[in-house]
Every structure is written in structure tokens, then in C-alpha cells.
Structure 1
Amino acid sequence: MSTSFKDRNALVFVLITVAINAVGFGIMIPVLPELIKSLTGLENNQVALHLGGMTFIFAVMQFISMPIVGGLSDAYGRRPVMLFSVGALAIDYFLMAIAPTVAILYLGRAISGAFGATFSTANAYIADVSPPELRAQNFGLVGAVFGAGFILGPVLGGWLGEFGPRVPFFAAGVICALNFVYGVLVLPETHKPEKRRAFNVRRSNAAGTLKSLSRISGVRGLLFVFFLLALAHTVYPSTYTLSTQEALGWTPKDVGNSLGAFGLASLFVQGYLIRIIIPKIGLFWSGLIGIGGAVLGYAILGNASQGWIVYAAGPFAALAGLYGPSLTNMMSIRVNDTEQGELQGAIGAAQGLAMMIGPLLLTWVFYVFADPETAPIYMPGAPFLVAAALAFLAFIAMMVVTTKEDRSARLSDVKTAEVDGASPQASPAET
């Protein structure tokens, strides 16, 4: 087998694995609340507390496991780490599909968080097999298939959920198992033994990433803006399904279809519109439009009383995809070339913290306001109104922490404004 053929097999497998991970995560969004209800008999507002806890555990395990998985692949090779992760995910989905108690679902989310942290290995594979001139393009492919998986996942989960809340988990398990078999047959090892390093626990932990938040100069204000927006964005994985079911009586199929539509709108913004808007009006104004879109999208969803209103929020929610690349690039041009990796670590830490805090906060808000008998004001969309308030605070903070130079700068004026290489804000379907 030639090297180029090996590289092609590795690239194809990585892209398929990333897509399957995205589908597997998205497939659960419309049906996990129904499965929790079937195991506990709880009402929507009480189910929300379980969803918040499960999302918290998933985020914590991802936060801890990302650097560990990356370190293990550097020490022992990409192939065994990737195959182990894919195989463990298949077992996890089957475990959740047959879960007899809600405690097993918590265990499943912990396993999914730990072994779903394959992106560091996937990125390492891409770096191994891609020549420098194609590396950015191949990283872009990873982002594209990731987004496509999250468009397909909720739709597939919603449709399969019509046959029962456990069916989508069985489907995800089968898909991961087939991917594991495919990987055993074709996945090559791309990390040469002479390039490996010993596994070091002190280098493979999240504490160092957290420390980077306080070490980077000139970007703290923008990191705070980013954190507020990431905090608000957690409303989608934590309460979107429950809010629409409580307020509108939606089925899992309805939820999946709406998230698929949101995903397509976001794909249009991030795959096409972003290339026009950011170069034309600059990073600051693009970021501000994105934040404004997020505020309006959350506010509309928080007040939605009919299904068409949810879909009307889609274009505004999709515009929120502008602020991720804009903020990332604005931070990037504030640090020198030797600090770029540290900056990405800080951004990842901010996102990780938001994923830990946000679901607990927003599911508690839903718990309080979604009980028609005890709520001070019955408002199933209250978590989205809280998210709108957080995004509005980010809008104000953006105005405060930026300068006149930021507002007048165009993309051609900055030293490193690689729009295509920035980390985009996920769509509602991508969380």
C-alpha cells in the first residue's frame, strides 16, 4: 500500500468518524428528554434538571479528556487511540439504549464525554497526512463534515424517535460499530515511532489550559465577550427540546426538523455568507451583527407561541455564526505568533467553562418557570430570555472593550485574519 493511499484512507476515516460523532450527539437531542421521562415519570421542568446534570458531566469529561486523548495519541500512535474511542462510543450508545435507570444515562453521558473527545486525535491525523499547503483545506473539511453531521443528527433522531426513544440510540450504536469495523480494516498508523513522545500527565491536563486565561495580554475583554456568548449558546443543547415541547406540544420529530432547518441556515452563513460579509465590513462590525442576531434569535425563541415563530428565529440564529470567527480573529491579531497556541487554549477553556456552567443555570431556570402550578410566571421560553440577556451583555461588553481602530479596521488591514481557519460559532444544531 503506497503512502498516499494510506494517507487517503486515514483522511476518509477521520472525516467519517467526525461526522458520526456529530450525528451521534445530535441524534440524542430530540429524544433524550423522552427517554428520561420514560424512566422517571417526571414532568418537563423536572426532566430539565437531569438534562442539565448530564450535559454538565459530558462537558467536564470532554474538558478533562481532550488533552489526555491528544497526549496518548502522541505517545502510542493515532490508530489505537482512535479505534478505542470509536469502539467505546458504540458500546456507550448500546448501553444508553438499554438503560434500565436514569443513573445509567448519567454513566453513558460520562463515557460519551470521555471517549467522544476524538477531535484532538482527528486533528493530529490531519496534521500527519496533510502537506502544509493542504492542511488548512483539510481542517476545513473536518469542520464541514462536523456541521453536516449535526444537521443530519437531530433530524434522524427525531424521525427514529417516532418508533420509540430508545431506537435512535440503537441506530447510533450500529453506526459506530460499523465505523469501528471499517477502521480496523483500513485505518493506517500515521504517527511514526521516531516522532512519538512519552505520555506526560502534567502536560495532559486541563489546568494548564485554564491558566492561559490569565496569562494572555490584550484579549481578556474579548475572551469575556466570547465566554458570555458561549454561556448563552448552551441554551440549545440543554433546554431547546423541552422548551418547544412544553410551549408548543412538539414531538421529537418536530424538534429534529427544526434543528435541521437551523443547521442548514447556519451552514449557508458559515459556508458562504461569512466570506462576503467579514471582508466587506470588517471583523468588529461582523461580530456585532452576529451578536445582535443572537440576541434577536434568543428573544424570538423565548416568546414563541407557535411553530412558525421558531422557524422565523432561524435566520437570526444563523447570523450568530458571524461572531465566532470575528472574535477569534480579533483576539488573534492582538497576540504575537508565539502566543497563538496559548490563545486557542484560552478560547477552548472559555468554551469548556461555559458548557459546565450554562446547562446547570439554564435548566434550573426552565425548572422554575415551566411548572404551570408553581412558577411565578409560567414561561417555558424563559431560558432563551436569559440567553438573550447574556448575549445583550456581550453586545455591551463588545462596545466597551474594543477600540476605534477595531471599528475602522477592514480584513485587509490585519496581519492574520484567516476567516476560513477560525473556529466558527456552532449552530443551534451543533451543540
Structure 2
Amino acid sequence: MRLSRPSTYFCAFLTLLNDRLGESIVFPLLPFLLASFTSNGRTLGLLAGSYALAQFAFTPLIGALSDRYGRKPVISFCVAGSVLGLGLFALTVSINWQAIPWAAGSSIPLTLLFIARLIDGVSGGTAATASAVLADISPPEKRAKAFGLIGVAFGLGFILGPALGGLLGRINVTLPVLLAAVIAAINLALVLVLLPETHPIEARISLPRRRELQPLSQLAKVFGNPQVRRLCLAFFLFFMAFNGFTAVLVLYFKQAFGWGPGLAAAAFLVVGVVATVVQGGLIGPLVKRFGEWRLTLGGLGLVICGCLLITLAQASNAQGVVFSAVAILAMGTGLVTPCLRSLVSRRLDDSGQGAALGSLQGLQSAGSFIGPPVAGLAYDTLGRTSPFWLGISLLAGVALLVAGGLPGQESPTPKAGS
């Protein structure tokens, strides 16, 4: 195939890598970047959730636009949005606003930071469109191998992002954000120069009706299916809990233990390494040995244990306890996410797969923008450890939903020997 040349794969891979890298560089450093503007959990939670909110609202439209107008213009727009969003964020945190008489003490810096995150979220359809490029250039029998690039790029992004952020953050906390913006700019230049259009004109389709692009209507469909309603609720609550307590995690490390950017980023580096190992190499053999249902419940137990450990950490033993805790959290999440998706898939016949599984991304985004503000509010009003206890409560509810099976169906307990 003419389009299956190395430059096409390289551009798709770099776009997927940039999608994860920009987020994983900036996220662990948010409390340090916001230190001169605010120190409360509510603002941090809202800022963390704003990206997911914009992504939730616009991802269906981004996907439809790529089917209608082609992959290259949509990817170019999305990466340009990342450059603009990250660039505005980097510029805002680099300026000494207190030295500007008319801006000192105003809400201008925080407003610009929210605008930057929303821009980055609106243009966050890069991963879906880059995945569509891989599907365009790969015959059906080679698609699984091509899609393996997605996992490699995401895993590498989750490892390199905290590593680079931690190293540069020790020098100057704004340097990692500048690096993220530069990487996005390089990504944009390479996409404009090297990426061909992979979606031929004859294969393009008209934009769907406006109602079909509304993310809430897509979620209503999946919750209207009794076969997967319970598991989809569990999926939503899991990401609400997980993204909630992780949004305030670094703020907790900073205020409870006096950690700086290096240690905070190192904790997320552990998460990236462990999650990549679990999802990249261990998940297949573990599913064959134990089945998705048991692994989902076991993974939830690990996440709960990780949260408990964090609440028990003291300043004198923080490093050992916290690094153990985040490793356990990463192991649990690496098990829950793919196994819960698989459980949803197994409850459906072939005709219902596309709509339901596609809506899981919407559920993940919805949980990701609701969880952080709720956790931030709890952090400020109920105490520093309250987001972790709230997360534990939600995760216990998720475990009950998964363990209870589905109404009118047999228990999902694996058969002997499975």
C-alpha cells in the first residue's frame, strides 16, 4: 500500500506520543505551577477537570470531522490546538504577574490557564484521529499489530513525561511546560510536511445530525441498554474516583510531606512504568489464568489498598510508603481498565459493540471532569485525606456493581478451568 510508508506510521506514532507526553509532563507539576496564583484544591480540581470537560464535549465532533474532511486537516488542527494551549499555559506561568500593576492580584492569570486547558481539551482528538490513520493504512489482518503502536506510544508518554518533568522541574518548574509546547510544535511541523491524507475522498461521509454528536445523548443510549448498564455505571464511577484523588495527589505530597517537583514527578514515573508493564506484558497471561471478572475485582482491591497506604504515610516514611502505594495503584488500574472494558464487550452481541464501547470513552471523560472538582472541594472543606476516603467509598461501590452480576443474567463468575 502506497500510504503505508514509514513517515505515515512515524507521524501517527509521534502524534499519539505527543498526546500523552504533553499531559504527563504538565499534570504532576500543576500544584507547583499554580503556587503563585492559588494553593486551594478546588481550583486545582477544576483546572484538572476542565481539559476532560472540553474533550468530552468535542471528541465526537472531532471524529466526525475527520470522516468528512479527512485525517490530515483534523490532526493538523488538533496538534495546532495543543501548541496554542500549551504555549499559552507556558507563557502564563512564566510571567511575573505581581510586577504588572494592573494585573497583580487579579484573576487574569487563572483565567488564561483555564482558557489554555480548554483549548488543549477541545483539540484533544489527536489520539482518535491518529488511530484512524493507522486503520486507514493497515489491512484488516495487520490492524492489531498497527494498533499496538497506540499502547507503545501511550506507555512511553507516561514514562517519559514524568521523567522529563521531574528532571527539568528541579531546574525551573516552567521548563517542562515549555518543552511540552516545543514538542507539540515539532509534531505539528512534521504532520504538515510528512503526513499524507489517508482517508480518500470516495470514502468520506456526511456529518451526522447535530443530535448524534451530543455526548450526553450517546451516554443515554448506553445506559438504556440493560445488558451493560450496571457495568457502565461501574466504569464511570471508577474513573470519577481514580481521577478525583489523583488530581489532588501532588498537592497532598507537597503540603503533607513538603515534596518538590522531582519527587512528585518520580511518583508518576513509577505509575507509568508499572502500568505499562501490566498492560503491555502481563494482562494477557493473567486474563487466561484468572478471567476478566476476578482480575477486575482484584484490581479494585489493589487500588483501594494503594489509597489506604497513602493515608497512612507519615513525613518520616513518606517516600517508601508513597512509592509502594502508587505502584500498587498502577497495578490495580492496569488490571481494571482493560478487564472492565472486556466485561462490557462480552455482555453484548456483535450488533451492539460499536455504540457501547465507543461510549465508554465518553464515560471515562465524564468521570475525569467530575471527579477532580469534587475531590478538590473535599480536600479544602473536609481535610487533606478526604479525597482518598471518598475514592475508597466509590471504589467499594464499583466492586459491588461488578460483583453483583447483571439483572436477569447468570453470575459472571468464570467457569472452572477458565
Q: Which residue of 2 aligns with 1:162?
A: 170
Q: Map 1:105-184; keep pairs closer than 5 Å.
A: 105-184=113-192
Distance 1:357 1:410, change over 3 A: farther
Residue by residue over 1:343-371, the C-alpha shift from the partner in whole angstroms, topping out at 9 and shown as x without a partner, is: 1133223212211211111011111245x
Q: Which residue of 1 aligns with 2:403?
A: 399
Distance 1:330 1:179 in 2: 36
Q: Map 1:309-388; keep pairs closer than 5 Å.
A: 309-320=321-332, 321-370=334-383, 380-388=384-392
Amino acid at match of 2:172: G
Superposed displacement of residue 405, structure 1: 4.4
Q: Which runs of 5+ in 2 are unaligned?
A: 96-108
What is the total number of aligned residue pairs between the two structures? Answer: 396
Q: Which residue of 2 aligns with 1:408?
A: 414
Determine if contact 1:29/1:157 at 8 Å carries over to the other structure.
no
Amino acid at match of 2:342: N
Determine if contact 1:27/1:168 at 8 Å carries over to the other structure.
yes
**1:232 counterpart (227, 241, 247):** 241
Which secondary structure state, in structure 1, belongs to the residue aligned with residue 248 of structure 2? helix
Which secondary structure state, in structure 1, belongs to the residue aligned with residue 285 of structure 2? helix
Q: Which residue of 2 aligns with 1:36?
A: 34
Distance 1:236 1:19 in 2: 25
Distance 1:335 1:167, change over 3 A: same
Residue by residue over 1:315-345, the C-alpha shift from the partner in whole angstroms, topping out at 9 and shown as x without a partner, is: 4213312122222222211111010011113
Superposed displacement of residue 4, structure 1: 4.5
Residue by residue over 1:211-236, the C-alpha shift from the partner in whole angstroms, topping out at 9 and shown as x without a partner, is: 22233231111112222211111135
Distance 1:292 1:314, change over 3 A: same
Residue by residue over 1:80-106, the C-alpha shift from the partner in whole angstroms, topping out at 9 and shown as x without a partner, is: 111121122112212111115111000
Q: Which residue of 2 aligns with 1:19?
A: 17
Q: Is 1:264–2:273 an aligned residue pair?
A: yes
Superposed displacement of residue 408, structure 1: 2.9
Q: Which residue of 2 aligns with 1:53?
A: 46
Distance 1:267 1:91 in 2: 29
Q: TM-score, normalised by structure 2?
A: 0.90
Distance 2:120 2:50 in 1: 10
Distance 2:245 2:72 in 1: 33
Task: Name which of structure 1's ranges 188-197 and 321-330 shifts more when overlaid on structure 2.
Answer: 321-330
Residue by residue over 1:265-294, the C-alpha shift from the partner in whole angstroms, topping out at 9 and shown as x without a partner, is: 111211122122110111211111111111
Q: Is 1:85–2:78 an aligned residue pair?
A: yes
Amino acid at match of 1:30: P
Q: TM-score, normalised by structure 1?
A: 0.87
Amino acid at match of 2:11: F
Q: Which residue of 1 aligns with 2:103?
A: none
Amino acid at match of 2:91: I
Distance 1:334 1:271 in 2: 24
Determine if contact 2:245/2:372 at 8 Å carries over to the other structure.
no
Identical aligned residues as a percent = 31
Distance 1:346 1:76, change over 3 A: closer
Distance 1:410 1:205, change over 3 A: farther
Superposed displacement of residue 70, structure 1: 0.9
Which secondary structure state, in structure 1, belongs to the residue aligned with residue 413 of structure 2? helix
Which secondary structure state, in structure 2, belongs to the residue aligned with residue 37 of structure 1? coil
Distance 1:133 1:236 in 2: 40
Distance 1:211 1:411, change over 3 A: farther
Q: Which residue of 2 aligns with 1:424?
A: none
**2:296 counterpart (287, 293, 312):** 287
Distance 1:281 1:166 in 2: 45
Distance 2:394 2:224 in 1: 25
Determine if contact 1:9/1:187 at 8 Å carries over to the other structure.
yes
Amino acid at match of 1:12: F
Which secondary structure state, in structure 2, belongs to the residue aligned with residue 30 of structure 1? helix
**2:307 counterpart (295, 298, 310):** 298
Superposed displacement of residue 201, structure 1: 4.8
Distance 1:275 1:348 in 2: 22
Determine if contact 1:52/1:363 at 8 Å carries over to the other structure.
yes
Q: Over the residues paired in the alignment, what is the CA RMSD in angstroms? A: 1.9
Distance 1:369 1:211, change over 3 A: closer
Determine if contact 1:87/1:180 at 8 Å carries over to the other structure.
yes
Q: Which residue of 2 aligns with 1:3?
A: 2
Superposed displacement of residue 188, structure 1: 0.5
Residue by residue over 1:161-208, the C-alpha shift from the partner in whole angstroms, topping out at 9 and shown as x without a partner, is: 223232211111111111111122211000101111223352333133
Amino acid at match of 1:3: R
